[in-house]
Amino acid sequence: MERPEKIQDYFPYVAHRLKNKSYRREARLCTLLSRRLFSDIEVIGFDPLVRQRRAELEHGDHTVNIYIARHLSEFDWQELQRIFGEADMMATIQAGDNLFIGPLDPILRHYGGFKVFREEVRLFSPNWLAQLWFSMLDRLWQRKAIRKVLTALGMKRRQPLIVDQMLARDIYVAYLYHLIHEEGRDVLIFPEYTKTQDKKIKYGRSYSGRLLEFTPLVFKLLRDINKKTHRKIQIVPVHLSYERVVEDQTFRTLEKMKTNRVTKPFTYIVDYFFNYTHWLYQHHRGRLVIRFGEPIVLRKRMDFRLRLHEEVRKRVGMLQTVFPTQVLGYAFGDAQQLPENELIRRVEKTLQELRQTAADLRYVENLSPREIIAAAYPHFNMHRKRCALLYDPTNATYRVLRPDVISQYRNHILHLFEKWHVSDELRKFIDLFRDQPEKKSF
């Protein structure tokens, strides 16, 4: 295949397939699955965005919403897209190319997903079936005996398009600009990242449960696009608070599969299978709170906001809703076993510390420590395959069987006790200059 001359020629390989139609029927189908996974889903702060969009449509105006969300579960994008679909505000979703597996490729694209290449890839066709077929033939062609047979049959090797990391970055930058400037699409981005032991950047879900660092590259790109486009852009912080993350006990398995060369290609197949069959044997459903924060409007000029990625990360983190599971996980800390009286004391101390934060404590504030433990325990001791915490009535002690699961819920709220890089006093000082007329600014 000849290398395209224009960067736009790569768009068919990564593009979403959202249509300008109502997706309310698809949203209702997703609602059926959501009801089997969660006992209650509460949405807070989305109505003002809907009213803003309706008012702008009446006046022929349009503001592009860039949703910046925390990423704890595979169901983050599904629940958010379901909410957007019910309001006819479907967004495109930035997703790694490793999620577009076989026949799931057209499904994810249909629901707004667009690819971001994270590693070097070999492209043969924008069609997933042709891509799969030619990839298999290409691997076979590398074997000398098979190559001789295929050559004897008159077959020629189809040369792939090789996309390295530099080209992948250029494709992403150009396509994000196209989405915002040309299409005027809302975009959902999960900007959390970690550095692996070999110093590689890994984007995706937080397996540890922590609120990870936000990459500054996305926000720098958004500011550059904002200067070039005529469209108005606003960043909307979003937080999904889970009483219980559906796939929390599979993260350890997924990490092991990724480190094995044989099982790595099947990692996300296993992940998808567990997530979308879990409702068949789930006995205790958790609650989910989806909270939208105050939008941050990007100005065309004279924006003195420092460290925008840190500012947005703080706003996302402060939207946290605390459930009994997080209080219990934080109270345990690194302990493997605690007497009941000691655990009660730790839960009470955790509540005192949480009251000093700005987090949403509606689900724990009016509960006693014993009631919090009683509410959280069923989520950690459902059945044999999910027994992360065990109570021994003989010795009146709680024993942790799956530290990797319990620690996730401690980490869910760990960011509430962080010291943020930009102080509130400095931020107020900057706001004084930002709010002045342009001619009186720096």
Three-state SS letters, the chain: CCCCCCHHHHHHHHCCCCCCCCCHHHHHHHHHHHHHHEEEEEEECCHHHHHHHHHHHHCCCCEEEEEEECCCCCHHHHHHHHHHHHCCCCCEEEEEHHHCCCCHHHHHHHCCEEEECCCCEEECCCCHHHHHHHHHHHHHHCCHHHHHHHHHCCCCCCCCEEECHHHHHHHHHHHHHHHHHHHCCCEEECCEEEECCCCCEEECCCCCCCCCEECHHHHHHHHHHHHHCCCEEEEEEEEEEECCCCCHHHHHHHHHHHHCCCCHHHHHHHHHHHHCCHHHCCCCCEEEEEEECCCEECCCCCCCCCCHHHHHHHHHHCCCECCHHHHHHHHHCCCCEEEHHHHHHHHHHHHHHHCCCCCECCCCCCCCHHHHHHHHHHHHEEECCEECEEEECCCCEEEECCHHHHHHHHHHCHHHHCCCCCCHHHHHHHHHHHCCCHHHCC
Q: What is the pLDDT of residue 439?
A: 37
Burial of 402 (0-12, 13-18, 19+ CB in 10 A): middle
**Cα–Cα distance for residue pair 81/26, rounded to 1 Å:** 10
pLDDT tens by residue, the chain, 442 residues: 667 778 999 999 999 999 888 888 888 888 888 888 899 999 999 999 999 999 999 998 999 999 999 999 999 999 999 999 999 999 999 999 988 988 889 989 999 999 999 888 999 999 999 998 888 888 888 888 888 887 887 877 888 889 998 999 999 999 999 999 999 999 999 999 988 777 778 888 999 999 999 999 999 999 999 999 999 999 999 999 999 998 888 888 888 898 888 888 888 888 888 888 877 777 788 999 999 999 999 987 645 555 889 999 999 999 999 999 999 999 998 899 999 999 999 999 999 999 998 889 999 999 999 999 999 999 988 766 668 888 889 999 999 989 999 999 999 999 998 765 444 444 444 444 444 443 332 2
What residue spans define the domains of the chain?
12-121+163-246+282-317, 324-412
Burial of 435 (0-12, 13-18, 19+ CB in 10 A): exposed
Report CA torsion sign: 207, 212, 217, 220: positive
Burial of 196 (0-12, 13-18, 19+ CB in 10 A): exposed
**Cα–Cα distance for residue pair 256/258, rounded to 1 Å:** 5
First to last CA, the chain: 52
Q: What does CATH list as the number for 324-412?
A: 1.10.10
Q: What is the pLDDT of residue 2?
A: 64
Say if pTM beats, i.e. exceeds, 0.75: yes
Q: What is the pLDDT of residue 36?
A: 86
CATH architecture observed for domain 12-121+163-246+282-317: 3-Layer(aba) Sandwich (3.40)
